[in-house]
DNA sequence: CCGTATCCCTTAGGATACTG
DNA sequence: CAGTATCCTAAGGGATACGG
């Protein structure tokens, strides 16, 4: 499944569905920036992997509902763990990036005695 | 960091470094299939994010060592959790895929039975 | 409303060659 | 050994238009 993680949209859709079942349009609004095409592609992939169940209500205006399966729920839980970790450590990462970027943007200052503090 | 997860090579490199420090070439061998270019790109990204520390030993044949920082170690732990989960559930996912694939390949047995081999 | 199919552009990333 | 730079192809993904 590490390859499914490599799929940015899949992760976001799973997170969105973790908050409850959604219809197609709802889901699109719940995942800002996703195009109609990618929503279709992503949902199909998730359904195929057994992480999401797709229910079609054959009403007058077509209505399709997407919800996590037990498997998908487990996956969502794992992803939430990752998300929590990333939130917790984002500051540290941002600091590391800032330090790194500052470092190689001053290639040749007369004296750069490792400016610390 | 969810975007770093979306980076397949980053994950694999972190996992490899989770087993100990490595030199450039060693790392390349430890991550089957990665090209020299992607190894460079990936390691730089990880160093920038503060997940990996890069140590240059200025010996006659250049020698560079990569190792996880504490931050990287925490990340590696999370990823291991994911990997464990995926291993545990791979059978279920494969079954779901097989079922799905079998389902939409026999839509209408009456005519045009989708000549497959 | 819920998709599917087409066009098209941007990017990831492999192969290769060269420097320190 | 450890990269860096260049080239080039394939895949990802947005915009749009059409079918059920």
Chain B: nearest CA to A98, how far in angstroms?
Answer: 8
**B3, A8: Cβ pair inside 8 Å?**
yes
**pLDDT single digits (tens) A12-23:** 999 999 999 999
Q: Mean pLDDT in chain A?
A: 87
DSSP three-state, residue B32: coil
DSSP three-state, residue B96: helix
For residue A106, name the pLDDT band (cuts at 50, 70, 90).
low
In terms of pLDDT, which residue wins out, B112 or B98? B98
Question: Could you tell me the distance in Å between the CA of residue B37 and the C1' of nucleotide C15?
Answer: 10
**Residue B1 in contact with partner chain A when CB distance is under 8 A:** yes
Any idea what the Cα angle at residue B84 is, between residues B80 and B89, rounded to 5°? 150
Q: Indicate the domain borders of chain A.
A: 2-89
- pLDDT of B106 reads 58
pLDDT higher than 50, residue B111:
no
pLDDT higher than 80, residue B105:
no
Give A40-104 as a DSSP string.
HHHHHHHHHTTSEEEEEE--SS-EEEEEE-HHHHHHHHHHHHHHHHHHHHHHHHHHHHHHHHHHT
Cβ pairs bridging A and B (under 8 Å)? 94
For residue A23, CA distances in Å to A7, A40, B33 come to 21, 12, 40
**A49, B96: Cβ pair inside 8 Å?**
yes
- Which residue in the set B1, B3, B92 is minimally distant from A71, CB to CB? B92
**B86, A2: Cβ pair inside 8 Å?**
yes
Any idea what the Cα angle at residue A63 is, between residues A59 and A66, rounded to 5°? 140
For residue B30, name the pLDDT band (cuts at 50, 70, 90).
very high
A70-74, A107-111, B21-25, B84-88: range with lowest mean pLDDT: A107-111
Whole-structure pTM value: 0.85
Mean pLDDT of B65-90: 93
- Which residue in the set B7, B50, B97 is minimally distant from A48, CB to CB? B97
Virtual torsion, Cα B42, B45, B51, B54, nearest 10 deg: 80
Q: Give B96's contacts in chain A (Cβ within 8 Å).
A: 48-50, 71
Rounded Cα–Cα distance for residues A83 and A92 (Å): 15
In terms of pLDDT, which residue wins out, A108 or B15? B15
Domain B2-89 indexed as CATH 1.10.1060.10: no
- pLDDT of A105 reads 64
Q: Give A82's contacts in chain B (Cβ within 8 Å).
A: 1-2, 5, 78, 82
Which residue bears the tokens 């030993």?
B57
Q: Which nucleotide is nearest to B42 (CA to C1')?
A: C13
**A96, B71: Cβ pair inside 8 Å?**
yes
Longest CA–CA separation in chain B, Å: 74
Chain B: nearest CA to A61, how far in angstroms?
Answer: 24
**pLDDT single digits (tens) A37-52:** 999 999 999 999 999 9
- pLDDT of B60 reads 85
**pLDDT single digits (tens) A54-83:** 999 988 889 999 999 999 999 999 989 988
């Amino acid at each position: 499944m590490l390859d499914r993680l490599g799929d940015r949209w899949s992760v976001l859709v799973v997170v969105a569905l973790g908050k409850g079942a959604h219809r197609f349009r709802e889901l699109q609004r719940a995942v800002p920036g996703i195009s109609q095409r990618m929503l279709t592609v992503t949902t199909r992939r998730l359904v195929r992997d057994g992480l999401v169940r797709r229910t079609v209500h054959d009403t007058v205006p077509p209505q399709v509902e997407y919800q996590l399966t037990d498997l998908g729920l487990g996956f969502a839980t794992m992803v939430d763990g990752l998300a929590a970790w990333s939130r917790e450590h984002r500051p540290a990462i941002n600091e590391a990036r800032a330090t790194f970027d500052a470092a190689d943007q001053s290639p040749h200052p007369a004296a750069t005695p490792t400016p610390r503090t």
